[in-house]
Chain A
Amino acid sequence: GAVVSQHPSWVICKSGTSVKIECRSLDFQATTMFWYRQFPKQSLMLMATSNEGSKATYEQGVEKDKFLINHASLTLSTLTVTSAHPEDSSFYICSARKVSGRAFGPYNEQFFGPGTRLTVL
């Protein structure tokens, strides 16, 4: 199988605090993970690409200093929402790309975590 977990599944915090969300690939290695954000009744918006051992690549409009991403190992990426405000309240979902042995080509399997619901008061 290919299982991705996220922790915590939900978190409530006060405005101004920082919150760390973990994304783990449990039974496979993932050199690349992705972070998405989803507001109510909207689609998933890609925030950033997390690369193991290197800096994350952020999508246009996403603040790097606001959303810190660390991909310290082949099975773990973390997203830290710094100085969170109520407008950061959202559903954060990660995905992990499985290295299938096919270096390039059309095979691109990614597996999604169950999501983390962040509520900032």
Chain B
Amino acid sequence: SQQGEEDPQALSIQEGENATMNCSYKTSINNLQWYRQNSGRGLVHLILIRSNEREKHSGRLRVTLDTSKKSSSLLITASRAADTASYFCATDGTSGTYKYIFGTGTRLKVLA
């Protein structure tokens, strides 16, 4: 089952611009994680944000979480061509199973 929906499905921007991706989920969560995946490769963990947190930063990445709206956003500032990848959010529910369910993903293309 797919927990999260991400939008946009695809995003194309110029190098130096900011990229914003949104993730919405359906049930209450403990944690939300963002991952990057280059074509045909494994996942790279970006940020974990807990349900009691509202915002986290890591380098050029900024993640927000709004549990009342069941949504999260990932902002990449000053994007680079190397940021071209698919980005996924993943959420774990509160049922105690610890499993992460992935969103549909956003394909980001940064043009040099």
What residues of chain A have their CB less than 8 Å away from a CB belonging to chain B? 32, 34, 36, 41-46, 49, 57, 59-60, 91, 93, 95, 97, 104-115, 117
Contact = CB atoms under 8 A, between A and B. Distances in A.
Interface in B11-68: 30-31, 35, 40-43, 45, 48, 50-52
7 contacts: A32-B98, A34-B99, A46-B1, A49-B97, A60-B1, A112-B45, A113-B42
Contact residue range for chain B?
A: 20 to 34
B98 A115 contact: no
Contact of A34 (B48, B51, B96, B100): B100
A43 B100 CA distance: 12
A35 B105 CA distance: 18
A106 B2 contact: no
B84 interface: no
B2 A43 contact: yes
Contact of B88 (A43, A60, A115): A43
A106 B31 contact: yes
A109 B99 contact: no
A33 to B, nearest CB: 10
Given A108-B30, A108-B92, A112-B43, A95 B50 contact: no
Contacts of B1: 46, 59-60
